Amino acid sequence: MKPRIIIVALVMLLGVAGPAVAGPFEDSYLAHKCGDFAAVLSISRPFAKQGLAAAQFFLGYMYSRGEGVPQDYAEAANWFRRVADQGDPIAQYNLGLAYFRGEGVSQDYVRAHLWLDLTTSRLPPSAASLRTSAVKGRDEIAGLMTPVQLAEAQHLARE
């Protein structure tokens, strides 16, 4: 994943989720800005286990980059999947890229297309750049798929 896109996505997620996670979790964002990854992990893990999407995204981000933990694409995909299942378009974007590239999951164009398609339909208007990237990626993947695969991906997205 392009580091710039992930950072923008992380800032957007925290910016959107910020008021909803007021309190102790905000300290993990500040710790991350200071590069104190041990503090980020100790603060974020309990929140992530409780299902807080922003904390789960943080862990996925850190595993994808190897920040404070060994880089582990499978663990990153696991955390991104939890957030994507909650409807977060930024996590859906990251999961779509993981399936496209086969990073931490088996390469699967149907799943990649599905997650990027969901991303394009759920991003807010303020995320035009990320939407453009998602549309471009989705369309690129569609060109690699058979008509049957494309129909399956579209069917899954409608569900």
Give whichever of 6-20, 37-51, 104-118 has the largest mean pLDDT.
104-118
Which tens digits make up the pLDDT trace of 105-135?
A: 999 999 999 999 999 999 988 999 999 999 9
Higher pLDDT, 72 or 6: 72
Which tens digits make up the pLDDT trace of 68-79?
A: 999 999 999 999
**pLDDT number for residue 115:** 97
> Could you tell me the domains of the chain?
3-158 (1.25.40.10)
**pLDDT number for residue 23:** 67
Answer whether 74's CB lies under 8 Å from 15's CB.
Answer: no
**pLDDT number for residue 61:** 93
